[in-house]
Amino acid sequence: MATKNKRIVYSDADCHRLVDIIITYRNVIECKKIAATTWKEKNATWQKIAQIYNSGTTEPRTADQLRCKYDNLKKDVRKYDAQKRQSSYRTGGGPTIDELKAILKLLYDKIKSIISFSVDGLEPSQGASDMLVESNIVIEPESSSHNEGVVASHECNDQYIIV
């Protein structure tokens, strides 16, 4: 007969301890590469995290349990940030109602610092292409026969950019 896994309860202190350990190894844990060596390195890192975590607690946890808890915490942070953003849109950018305990805010801020790109997304950079959109641009087809791209020139200084 197969044994059922019992539900594991983590205290706030356990979550903080886990996140503090993960911050040390965040470059390996949050690496987006999908090579076999990367996966082996991630598994070895989770084993190290479990060993460090279990050295200071009375309830030992496996690497899979800690990984699952961390994944759930990341989901909670994304969900909380999305709700906060929606609330901000509802109020027109005004004050939002924030019903999160102070201890969880600290934990969520730590996790958000690790996974900030997946929570906030990338901000658009204001580069040369953004500046050209705001100015007057004349777009002319290239004179070659195979038309590889479009040549855009700025009216003021006749600089050509292949688009």
Maximum C-alpha span of the chain: 80
- Which residues are 141's β-sheet partners? 150
Tell me the whole-structure pTM to 2 decimals. Answer: 0.62
What distance lies between CA 141 and its chain's CA centroid?
A: 41
| Rounded CA separation 115/108 (Å) | 10
What distance lies between CA 99 and its chain's CA centroid?
A: 23
pLDDT tier for residue 158 given thresholds of 50, 70 and 90: very low
144 versus 57: the higher-pLDDT residue is: 57
Q: How many CB atoms lie within 10 A of CB 53?
A: 20
The per-residue pLDDT for 115 is 78
Whether pLDDT at 146 is above 70 = no
